[in-house]
Amino acid sequence: MSRPSGVAATTAPPEEPAPAPSTVRSKLTFAGIATGNLLVLLDTSILNVAVPDVQKSLHPAAAALPWAVDAYTVVFAGLLLAGGVIADRWGARRVYVCALGLFAALSVVCALAPDVGYLIAGRALLGAAGAGLVPASLALLIHLNPDPARRTRAIGAWTALSGLGAAAGPVLGGALVELGGWRLVFLVNPPIALAALLLARRLPVPPVRAVRALDRPGLALSTAGLGLLTFGLVEAGIEGWGSPYALVPVVAALLCFAAVALVERRVASPVLPPALLALPKVRAAMVAAAVSCFAYFGGMYMFAVWLQHTYDLTPFKAGLASLPIAFPVCVMPFFTGRLVARHGPRPVLLAGMSASVVAGVLLALCGGHHPPLPLIIAAELALAATGTLSIPSAAAAMAVSAPPEYAATSQGALNGIRQAGSALGVAVLGTLGALTTSGYVLIGIGLPAVLLVTRATAKPSA
């Protein structure tokens, strides 16, 4: 029998299927996998409320201060696809454990940073470790739950616990800053990482069906493209869309993506396999994830800035003010997993994406400096519905639709585009200022995305 195209001559020996783990052991292993991912999302938001204390302590230049926060996101987004490919090639368990240990060690480095340059470098390295954790954790979760119904419920629970990190970040960060300063924000990471390792001592070892040839040009170009795009979007939020620091990286990113399209036609084993991208449901999951993260994370950042400027809140109170949009992410994905298992990803995904359009309509009605509070809360809850329905449904749709041999690669690609969507949402919605304008943007982006996903996921007529 001929070897599949793009597979190297060396294949892993067949492995005996491992005995099914006990219920208690399986739950502990799941908790370890989810806790590691919680740690990654915790660091996307925990430092935001600590920025004034960092400024007071390290006295950085004004242009350098935002990068103490954003260096993490740029590297995280840029390397997610590479993290998925590496996990597929060298083993999800090995990559997960190594990345978790690095995350703990680098957190200590950040806490000890003597100046903002060291802090930015440490945050960038933390982003690299996070990019290894996320796709590897999802690949392990998929292997731990081979049954599709169990898998979707597990992904819902995984997303809920991960969302707890994003939701708890501002509140926990504000409390730690008021307790002992910004360095405590990083020292909370090592105990969580140690707990994750202890909980997941018996991680599954997904069998490696075949060792794919490593597509170095495609990997380098896609990583550079995602990194440059995120860098440009962050700079647009800091310097404005007319700044060359924003425009040049975005143009360079587009050139990298164009080069990827050309290079991938000529390599034996492309970094994003055509068999994966040819699936309409895979493409729909990517669009849904990007648009939903644009709306949810952009809206979360927009409300945090708007509430602080309008009501002059302390760091801890600013974190509490984000709870209407953040807290549902800690609870609802448990139910989202059940809904997806019962009805399939499509209706849940479309409901969540439609909620972003509803949020846009509500924000478009928010005229004046102090719009009615019920209208603000309703818009926050609509964005929370987007985060709790669309994002886990997109991950479940990808897990069900992608071939098993591309489990980590597909999740790395999905999470890469999620982070790009999040960065774009923060850059766009965070710089518009007016809630009404942000509402029009959400409507303009959300409606076409809903129609596109509806068409891509429709069942073919008999």
Segment 196-233, tens digit of pLDDT: 888 877 776 665 554 556 677 877 887 788 778 878 87
Phi, psi for 22 (deg, rounded to 5): -65, 160
Q: Widest CA span of the chain, in angstroms?
A: 70
448, pLDDT greater than 60? yes
Task: Round to whole Å and give the CA distance between 421 and 425.
Answer: 6
What residue type is 419 in one-letter code?
Answer: Q
Confidence of residue 383 (pLDDT cuts 50, 70, 90): very high
Of 124-128, 185-189, 401-405, where does mean pLDDT reach its minimum?
A: 401-405
Give the span between the Cα atoms of 57 and 195, in whole angstroms.
30
Give the residue from 220, 95, 204 showing the smallest Cα distance to 154.
204
**What pLDDT score does 317 carry?**
73
Average pLDDT of every residue of the chain: 80
Which residue type occupies 437?
A: T
Q: CA-to-CA distance for 449 and 443, rounded, in angstroms?
A: 10
Residue 137: CB atoms within 10 Å: 31
Query: CA 130, CA 123: separation in Å to the nearest integer?
Result: 10
Supply the pLDDT for residue 18.
42
**Signed CA dihedral, 124, 128, 130, 134: sign only:** positive
Per-residue confidence at 164, pLDDT binned at 50, 70, 90?
Answer: confident
CA distances from 66 to 10, 13, 48, 72, 296 (A): 46, 49, 9, 11, 21
Q: Which band of pLDDT confidence, cut at 50, 70 and 90, is reported for residue 2?
A: very low
Residues in CB range of 374: below 8 A, 6 or more apart: none
Distance CA(449)–CA(97), nearest Å, equals: 37
Give the mean model confidence (pLDDT) for residues 157-165: 71
- Per-residue pLDDT at 7 exceeds 60: no
Residue 3 clears pLDDT 60, i.e. is over it: no
Nearest to 77 by CA among 209, 184, 228: 228
How high is the pLDDT of residue 213? 62
For 388-415, b/e burial (b = at least 16 CB within 10 A) is bbbbbbbbbbbbbbbeebbbbbbbbbbb
Other Cβ atoms within 10 Å of 142 Cβ, number: 24
Residue 30, pLDDT score: 85
Among 123-127, 150-154, 156-160, 246-250, where is mean pLDDT lowest? 156-160
Angle between helices 92-111 and 189-199 (to 10 degrees): 160
Report, as an integer, the average pLDDT of 249-254: 92
User: Could you read off the pLDDT of 71-90 as tens digits, one per residue?
Assistant: 887 788 778 777 877 887 78
Q: Which residues contact 251 (CB under 8 A, 6 or more apart)?
A: none
What pLDDT, on the 0 to 100 scale, is given for residue 17?
Answer: 43
| Mean local confidence (pLDDT), 397-412 | 78
Q: What is the pTM of this model?
A: 0.71
Out of 171-180, 215-224, 290-299, the most confident range is 290-299
Q: What is the mean pLDDT of residues 32-57?
A: 82
Q: Shortest CA distance to 292 belongs to which of 163, 386, 432?
A: 386
Q: Which of 280, 253, 259, 281 is nearest to 271 (CA)?
A: 259
Name, of 74-83, 107-116, 268-277, the range with top average pLDDT.
107-116
Residue matched to tokens 């390290």: 58
Most trustworthy range by pLDDT among 64-68, 201-205, 242-246: 242-246
Confidence at 14, pLDDT banded by 50, 70, 90: very low
Q: What is the 3-state secondary structure (H, E, C) of the chain?
A: CCCCCCECCCCCCCCCCCCCCCHHHHHHHHHHHHHHHHHHHHHHHCCHHHHHHHHHHHCCCCCCHHHHHHHHHHHHHHHHHHHHHHHHHHCHHHHHHHHHHHHHHHHHHHHCCCCHHHHHHHHHHHHHHHHHHHHHHHHHHHHHCCCHHHHHHHHHHHHHHHHHHHHHHHHHHHHHHHHHCCHHHHHCHHHHHHHHHHHCCCCCCCCCCCCECCCHHHHHHHHHHHHHHHHHHHHHHHHCCCCHHHHHHHHHHHHHHHHHHHHCCCCCCCCCCHHHHCCHHHHHHHHHHHHHHHHHHHHHHHHHHHHHHHHCCCHHHHHHHCHHHHCHHHHHHHHHHHHHHHHCHHHHHHHHHHHHHHHHHHHHCCCCCCCCHHHHHHHHHHHHHHHHHHHHHHHHHHHHHCCHHHHHHHHHHHHHHHHHHHHHHHHHHHHHCCHHHHHHHHHHHHHHHHHHHHHHCCCCCC
